[in-house]
Amino acid sequence: MLSVPEARARILALLAPTGGEIIPLAEAAGRVLAAPLIARLTQPPNDVSAMDGFALRAADSVIGARLRIIGAAPAGHPFAGSVRPGEAVRLFTGSVVPAGADCIIIQEEAEYDDTTVTLREAGLPGKHIRGAGLDFAAGDTLLSPGRHLTARDIGLAAAANHPWITVHRKPVIAILATGDEIAMPGDPIPAGGIVSSNSHALAAFVRANGGIPIILPIAPDDRTAIANAAASASHADLLITTGGASVGTHDLVQAGLSDIGLDVDFWKIAMRPGKPLMFGRLGNLPVLGLPGNPVSAMICALLFAKPAIERLAGLPGTAPSTDSARCTIALSANDHRADHLRATIDRDADGHWTVTPFGPQDSSMLRRLARADAVVLRAPHAPATPAGTTVSIIRLAACGL
Ligand SMILES: Nc1nc2c(c(=O)[nH]1)N[C@H]1C(S)=C(S)[C@@H](COP(=O)(O)OP(=O)(O)OC[C@H]3O[C@@H](n4cnc5c(N)ncnc54)[C@H](O)[C@@H]3O)O[C@H]1N2
Ligand code: MOO
């Protein structure tokens, strides 16, 4: 059976980023840049003052010099003339430095009235002046494709005069829950049935990770129905199925999709929960088949759907990032499957992170999953460890789970 990293690499290898679309800059935080962002202007566009004070010629800036104030240049109102020997112009933070001036004296170092200023310090050429282009110049590449846009980037793009921006289209992720026994929340529940938690949980997870979820109607345990439902999702960037992934007579997802040409890349991997994970392609549509057990479905989503959505959205797509924490309980030796223990996080008296796995870890226990802060990663064949051992964890909320 494939390992978790091998399975992830196989999935990512088959995914390509979506195309670009142009959106308003204000909506672009969290999106992925699809074209280089080139500065449309020079910033600052002119030499500007970094302080409130007086612009003058450096040659005049000697202690005790008395200069004639020939005008004022508030920010946004440049002074039209030029500064000659013995003259000064009143200016403020952000004011354009007038022609002829190459020195700023801050107002705290000057005595002044409406007509004259006397210097209490000698200035230096260029001091307190932000030269034109200090930040960037027109034509500079400010951000490169693949950049996951932050609020800081939005500010930079705005400063470079971009009201619109080209980003990768949000990947559309179709979600197909299968099973005779499941019903959508609020719908009539068949005898012996349960409500489909997976559809809604996966949709929320997809949205939190930058995709657009489309919840398809539930498909019963019937090959044709499953095939038809999947065919209706051919426009999506990824189809995620849940349930019907295992070996039972009624686990028909692979059979149904094979009827319409599913090319299976792999099925079953060495992890718990989530062993029956399947990945393949229906024509151009990648298909990730998750197990039906709700916790298995969400752990598989965390480890595989999240990087897949990231790759589709224009990012590299990587394993969820891990942290270290001290495990408060002893752990028994692991078997050949990578294990993912649902756990709560706390801090000990010294402020260090601790993690406490729940007792029973059954993959149907959603309330426990909802209460968990993290999963503890246990490598295949990890030896037994005493309480207090440092372990790797994935924080769930940070991953949109
Ligand atoms: N003989 C074997 N049996 C099983 C094996 C195995 O290797 N040999 N693997 C087990 C493992 S591991 C898992 S995980 C499950 C996965 O099975 P399926 O993907 O086929 O899932 P289902 O049988 O359809 O459902 C499992 C469980 O989850 C409930 N379910 C299904 N869909 C939903 C949904 N949308 N929302 C909430 N809950 C759902 C379903 O009612 C079942 O209780 O197989 C083991 N069996
Ligand atoms: O994926 Mo299953 O039992 O390993 O939950």
Instruction: Check residue 247 and give its pLDDT.
Output: 79
What percent of the chain is modeled with pLDDT above 90? 98
Region 237-260 average pLDDT: 92
Ligand 2 touching residue 292 (CB < 6 A): no
CATH superfamily to which 20-43+135-168 belongs: Molybdopterin biosynthesis moea protein, domain 2 (3.90.105.10)
The CATH number of the domain covering residues in 4-17+170-312: 3.40.980.10
Please, what CATH class does the domain formed by 323-399 belong to? mainly beta
ipTM associated with this complex: 0.97
Q: What is the pTM of this model?
A: 0.93
Q: Please give the number of the atom of ligand 1 that sits closest to the Cα of 296.
A: 14
Region 38-52 average pLDDT: 97
Question: Nearest ligand, CA of residue 219?
Answer: 1
Instruction: Return the residue whose CA atom lies nearest to atom 5 of ligand 2.
Output: 273
Q: For residue 46, count other CB atoms closer than 10 A to its CB.
A: 13
Q: Ligand 2 centre and the CA of 309: distance in Å?
A: 23
Whether residue 379 is predicted with pLDDT greater than 90 in this model: the reply is yes
d(CA 305, CA 198): 13
Q: Where are the domains of the chain?
A: 4-17+170-312, 20-43+135-168, 48-130, 323-399
Instruction: Check residue 343 and give its pLDDT.
Output: 98
Question: Nearest ligand, CA of residue 296?
Answer: 2
Q: Ligand 2 centre and the CA of 296: distance in Å?
A: 6
d(CA 333, CA 217): 42
Ligand 1 touching residue 296 (CB < 6 A): yes
Instruction: Return the residue whose CA atom lies nearest to atom 33 of ligand 1.
Output: 292
Whether residue 234 is predicted with pLDDT greater than 90 in this model: the reply is yes
Question: Nearest ligand, CA of residue 274?
Answer: 2
**Residue 5 amino acid letter:** P
Instruction: Check residue 248 and give its pLDDT.
Output: 80
Ligand 2 touching residue 363 (CB < 6 A): yes
**Residue 177 amino acid letter:** A
- What is the chain's mean pLDDT, rounded? 97
Q: Ligand 2 centre and the CA of 38: distance in Å?
A: 49
d(CA 280, CA 287): 5
Instruction: Check residue 251 and give its pLDDT.
Output: 80
Q: Please give the number of the atom of ligand 1 that sits closest to the Cα of 272.
A: 12
Instruction: Check residue 249 and give its pLDDT.
Output: 82
Sign for the CA dihedral angle at 34, 35, 41, 42 comes to positive
CATH superfamily to which 48-130 belongs: Molybdopterin biosynthesis moea protein, domain 3. (2.170.190.11)
